[in-house]
C-alpha cells in the first residue's frame, strides 16, 4: 500500500504520530484505511484528510462500477 514501504503506519499501535522522514505525504495510507479517523493527515494543526469507512466504500464502489 505505501509506495515508500513505511511499515510504521500499519504496525504502530500506540504512538499517535507515525510520520517518518521517508514519508512523502501521498496520503495513500489514509485513503486506503477503512477505519473512521484511524489515520489523519495534518498540516501543522490543520486537518487535511482523515480515513473513513464511507470514503473507502465509495472509492471501491466507483472503481468496480458497482454504483
**Which residues sit at the interface with ligand SF4, rule CB under 6 A?**
2-4, 6, 9, 23-29
What the block records as the C-alpha cell of 22 is 521517508
Q: Which is nearer to ligand SF4, 28 or 50 (CB)?
A: 28
Closest of 20, 27, 21 to residue 41, by C-alpha:
27
CB of 62 to ligand SF4, least distance (A): 20
Q: Which is nearer to ligand SF4, 4 or 57 (CB)?
A: 4
β-partners of residue 46 are 43
Q: Which is nearer to ligand SF4, 42 or 53 (CB)?
A: 42
Please tell me whether residue 53 adopts helix, strand or coil conformation: helix
Amino acid at each position: 500500500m505505501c509506495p515508500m514501504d513505511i511499515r510504521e503506519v500499519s504496525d504502530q499501535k500506540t504512538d499517535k504520530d507515525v510520520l517518518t522522514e521517508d514519508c512523502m505525504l501521498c496520503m495513500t495510507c489514509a485513503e486506503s484505511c477503512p477505519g473512521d479517523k484511524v489515520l489523519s493527515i495534518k498540516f501543522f494543526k490543520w486537518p487535511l484528510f482523515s480515513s473513513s469507512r464511507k470514503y473507502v466504500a465509495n472509492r471501491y464502489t466507483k472503481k468496480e462500477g458497482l454504483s
